[in-house]
Amino acid sequence: MGTAESGDIERRCSQAMDLKNQGRYDEAVAEFQQVLECKPDYARAHLGLGLVYCFMGQFDESLEELKRAAECAPDWVDGHLNLAKTYAMLGMYDEARVEFNRVLELHPGHPEAQKQLDYFQDLT
């Protein structure tokens, strides 16, 4: 992929993130999907799409996209962190623990991941 094409993908993904942040979820989904048609393994687009689906209450789709983001960029802290937080929100605590621990492997001492794991420890 050339630099110009790569820049266009980044711009379109940023535009989709802006749409998500404005609550324009259907438009954001369409834009993220178009980005993924051009670059199917683009972790940032999978993450954004997963977050939009979560906001829309489409949790199965959300988890699928967030998992894909983490798979596409296995060393990307944000991918694992958002997947972990979504698992926790859905009450899937074992899965959340795995992902929060992965965040700590990638970023030792990550404050949010550590706080969440401490909270889970207090539950047991």
pLDDT digits (tens, 9 = 90+) for 40-57: 999 999 999 999 999 999
Please list the helix, strand and coil fractions of the chain in percent, rounded to the nearest 5, in that order: 80, 0, 20
Is the distance from CB of 83 to CB of 93 less than 8 angstroms?
no
Query: pLDDT by residue (tens digit) across 75-101?
Result: 999 999 999 999 999 999 999 999 999
CATH code for residues 1-58: 1.25.40
Exposure on the CB side of residue 40, measured as CA atoms within 13 A: 0
Q: What is the pTM of this model?
A: 0.91
Q: What is the rounded CA–CA span in Å between residue 54 and residue 41?
A: 20
What are the sequence ranges of the domains in the chain?
A: 1-58, 74-124
